[in-house]
Amino acid sequence: MNDELVLVTGGTGFVGSHCIVRLLDAGYQVRTTLRSLARADDVRALVRAGGADPAGLEYAQADLLHDDGWHAAAAGAIYVLHVASPFPVRQPKDASELIAPARDGSLRVLRAARDARVRRVVLTSSFAAVGYSSRPDRPFTEEDWTDPDDPGLSPYVRSKAIAERAAWDFVDYEGGDLELSVVNPVGIFGPALGADLSSSVALLRALLTGRVPAVPHGQTSGVDVRDVADLHVRAMMHPDASGERFLAVSGEPITYPDLARLLRERLGDDARRVPRIVIPDWVVRIGANLDADLRAMLPELNRSRRASSEKAQSVLGWRPRPRDEAIIASAESLLRLGLV
């Protein structure tokens, strides 16, 4: 048993619960934050579903929107994995609904970590903070940044770019000895442990239930949540990870028609409701005048945003599962949990 305490924010979340499982399996002492301690039983159930023993797991009540509880949550921790952050199924009309908890919440966690003399914080950011402004003729890398002032960005993309920039600025100017590492995942697939899903897994659920009758000519990239959790722990421990960003991506992007085809081929009758119809681009453009979700698709039509995980692999020795394996693991877990 390792006597080093790790604080994980957002223990009920898709990524947060997998991070807890990964840390417990590695022998760490773990404390997690919850907006309400009434959800402690939910976390224990998620951890058990992930194959770990939650007996020694600690809980602290803290909310990203409020100052209360964060210093107590960080007290005694050697490391912090700041995973909690909103990811909406639908984009809000008011961007501040996402920007405030993402930016101000990260700063609350960082201040508490600094004051508690935490050694290193690993922040879960996103590819959204990397690859939504510049258009390089190469895969995106950690050197690339999304410009949050780009008027075409969605509130979610803006929130991730703003929050990550604010975190780096805080550590540079107010962090003292606090170290920061950042993980920037693309769409996160992999096995769900409960009903709290990533947006990517929620998309699979919508496809499998037939709630989405057709798919557009868009693309998404993928990575397995278990590998994202593993990358967090590697970034937490590796001496060369301090002050660095790490993209988490497995393989090439997949088009939505190919994603639907993969589900049908691998799941058989369980994927009978997955759509076969592809929405013509002109339909998306017309529908965007009336529907915010279709409007958000416009910049992504027929666009590939390739990203490289070479840095995580070469510096940290990270080896992700194949993209298709992550997607199918998601779908199988939804079936196993009775969510489709």
d(CA 80, CA 5): 9
pLDDT(299) > 70? no
CA distances (Å), origin 166, targets 118, 129, 182, 285, 301: 19, 12, 12, 35, 30
Residue 286 in any domain: the answer is no
Banded model confidence at residue 102, pLDDT cuts 50, 70, 90: confident
pLDDT tens digits, residue range 8-19? 999 999 999 999
Residue 127 in any domain: the answer is yes
pLDDT tens digits, residue range 171-210? 999 999 999 999 999 999 999 999 989 889 998 999 999 9
**Rounded to two decimals, what is the model's pTM?**
0.93
Query: Is 10 in contact with 85 (CB distance < 8 Å)?
Result: yes
Quote the pLDDT of residue 101: 78
Residue indicated by tokens 């988490």: 248
Residue 337 in any domain: the answer is no
pLDDT(304) > 80? no
Residue 181 in any domain: the answer is yes
Residue 210 in any domain: the answer is no
Residue 97 in any domain: the answer is yes
Banded model confidence at residue 135, pLDDT cuts 50, 70, 90: confident
3-class DSSP state for residue 20?
helix
* Total structural domains within the chain: 1
Beta bridge partners, 248, equal 185
pLDDT(125) > 80? yes
Q: Is 93 one of the annotated active-site residues of the chain?
A: no
Q: What CATH number does residue 117 fall under?
A: 3.40.50.720
Query: Is 277 in contact with 214 (CB distance < 8 Å)?
Result: yes
CB atoms under 10 Å from CB of 165, counted, come to 16
Banded model confidence at residue 91, pLDDT cuts 50, 70, 90: low
CB atoms under 10 Å from CB of 94, counted, come to 9
Q: What is the mean pLDDT of residues 95-113?
A: 87
Quote the pLDDT of residue 281: 78
Residue 184 in any domain: the answer is yes
The torsion angle over the Cα atoms of residues 102, 108, 109 and 110, rounded to 10 degrees, is 100
Q: Which two tokens stand for residue 173?
A: 């100017």
Banded model confidence at residue 133, pLDDT cuts 50, 70, 90: confident
Q: Which two tokens stand for residue 188?
A: 């996160």
Of the residues 22, 82, 160, 226, only one is catalytic, namely 160
Quote the pLDDT of residue 76: 97
pLDDT(214) > 70? yes
| Domain ranges, residue 172 | 5-196+222-252+306-323
Quote the pLDDT of residue 144: 95
Residue 193 CB partners (closer than 8 Å, separation 6+): 14, 17, 18, 21, 46, 47, 49, 50, 333
Quote the pLDDT of residue 309: 97
Banded model confidence at residue 291, pLDDT cuts 50, 70, 90: low
Quote the pLDDT of residue 6: 98
Please state whether beta strands 120-124 and 79-82 pair in parallel, antiparallel, or not at all (unpaired): parallel
Long-range contacts of 158-162 (CB under 8 A, 24+ apart): 158/95, 158/98, 158/99, 159/86, 159/95, 159/98, 159/99, 159/102, 159/103, 160/85, 160/102, 160/125, 160/126, 160/128, 160/129, 161/128, 161/129, 161/132, 162/99, 162/102, 162/103
Instruction: Tell me which of 211 and 291 has the higher pLDDT.
Output: 211
Banded model confidence at residue 88, pLDDT cuts 50, 70, 90: low
pLDDT(95) > 80? no
The torsion angle over the Cα atoms of residues 151, 154, 156 and 160, rounded to 10 degrees, is -40
Quote the pLDDT of residue 288: 66
Residue 259 in any domain: the answer is no
d(CA 228, CA 231): 5
